[in-house]
């Protein structure tokens, strides 16, 4: 996770600390790339806290990290999981121009629950981000993720899947929401693993090239394997 460990937002499902983030570390891109090289990584997933305090939301740091990994560990696939940059298309473009192999932006939940769960997030802004990622082409794979268990209905899940699919998303993750602390939203429902299998099938019937679905699935869960399954289809 880059750009610090303090987020400018306070999503009610997320365990990351909220508050005023510290200044940027100018050596972060180089240090992340050095770590990728030292660990001989084949696939790196880079994400961040939200940095609404920065003019470009931290997009240039995502791009710099991608380029440094290319320099120091050229065989490592780069997957970026980016915030919505408050709908700033120029910031998203900065990220895309670095041409990571995969760019994800998580839709997280259904639009009815955004206000409760994802303060600061706007469903349509996230859809627009996904649309822009998908439209970029150049081999960049668009990806998103949805949590189940916050109180959504089956119809709402299906609608979100249709919405993100119509934005061009090819790779989808579905996982169970787990409550990090008593401050966070309670789990409204635990889904049986068979239900995750059913949603995977529904997603792939809708047209997603690969759906990774299971109680413990997160966007970075076995991300290299997700990509391999995607690429094999
Ligand atoms: S914006 Fe991301 S890191 Fe920040 S609180 Fe929400 S989910 Fe967590």
What's this model's pTM, rounded to 2 decimal places?
Answer: 0.97
Domain 6-232 has CATH 3.20.20.70: yes
Q: What distance in Å separates the CA atoms of residue 227 and residue 171, rounded to the nearest whole number?
A: 8
Q: What distance in Å separates the CA atoms of residue 103 and residue 118, rounded to the nearest whole number?
A: 21
pLDDT-derived band at 233 (thresholds 50, 70, 90) equals confident
Residue-wise pLDDT tens digits, 11-45: 999 999 999 999 999 999 999 999 999 999 999 99
Q: How many angstroms does the Cα of residue 205 sit away from the middle of ligand 1?
A: 31
Residues of the chain with pLDDT > 70: what percent?
A: 100
Q: What distance in Å separates the CA atoms of residue 187 and residue 180, rounded to the nearest whole number?
A: 10
Ligand 1 mutation target, pool 11, 18, 118, most atoms within 8 A of CB: 11
Our answer on whether the CB atom of 50 is closer than 6 Å to any ligand 1 atom is yes
Q: What distance in Å separates the CA atoms of residue 217 and residue 191, rounded to the nearest whole number?
A: 12
Ligand 1 mutation target, pool 4, 49, 184, most atoms within 8 A of CB: 49
């Amino acid at each position: 996770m880059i750009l610090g460990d303090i987020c400018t937002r306070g999503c009610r499902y997320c365990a990351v600390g909220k508050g005023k983030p510290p200044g940027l570390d100018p050596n972060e891109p180089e240090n992340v790339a050095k770590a990728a090289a030292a660990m001989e990584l084949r696939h790196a997933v880079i994400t961040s806290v939200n940095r609404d305090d920065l003019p470009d939301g931290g997009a240039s740091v995502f791009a710099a990290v991608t380029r440094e990994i290319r320099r120091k560990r050229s065989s490592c696939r780069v997957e970026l999981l980016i915030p919505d940059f408050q709908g700033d298309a120029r910031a998203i473009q900065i990220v895309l121009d670095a041409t990571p192999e995969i760019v994800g932006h998580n839709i997280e939940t259904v639009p009815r629950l955004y206000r409760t769960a994802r303060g600061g997030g706007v469903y349509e802004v996230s859809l627009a981000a996904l649309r822009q990622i998908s439209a970029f082409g150049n081999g960049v794979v668009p990806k998103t993720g949805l949590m189940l268990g916050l109180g959504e209905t089956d119809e709402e899940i299906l609608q979100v899947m249709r919405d993100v699919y119509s934005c061009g998303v090819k790779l989808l993750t579905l996982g169970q929401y787990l409550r990090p602390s008593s401050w966070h939203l309670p789990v409204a429902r635990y889904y049986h693993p068979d239900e995750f299998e059913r949603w995977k099938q529904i997603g792939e019937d809708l047209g997603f090239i690969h759906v990774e679905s299971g109680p413990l699935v997160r966007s970075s869960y076995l991300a290299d394997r997700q990509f391999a399954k995607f690429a094999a289809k």
